Amino acid sequence: MAALKTIDLFSGCGGFSQGLTEAGFDLRLGIEYKDDIIDTYNANFAHPAVKHDLMDWQGAVDIIRKRVGDVDVVAGSPPFFELHSWHERAMSYPWL
């Protein structure tokens, strides 16, 4: 069976992507929004990470379709709250 064509949303520096690659997934694209993090990701992988704010989900779908086409797996790493500027606001939500 061929490796599953995979993308990584909220890819960060690529820890989740690395694990997926080691597990045999065919990683094709990472999507992240911070330039320095994207630079780190791109220094460590043959496939690219691109800058995009995933609040614009339709734009993300367009990027994925143009760069990858059909995918088998969409991975999404959980955000690291302490590094986000909205951390204090998010922590005021009663469900967190």
- pLDDT for 80: 61
Please determine, for residue 96, whether its predicted confidence score (pLDDT) is greater than 60.
no
What is the DSSP annotation of 16-43? HHHHHHHTT-EEEEEEES-HHHHHHHHH
pLDDT-based confidence at residue 91 (cuts at 50, 70, 90): low
Q: Give the chain's mean pLDDT.
A: 87
Contacts of 37 (CB under 8 A, 6+ apart): 12, 13, 49
The model's pLDDT over 45-67, given as tens digits with 9 standing for 90+, comes to 999 999 999 889 999 999 999 99
81, pLDDT greater than 90: no
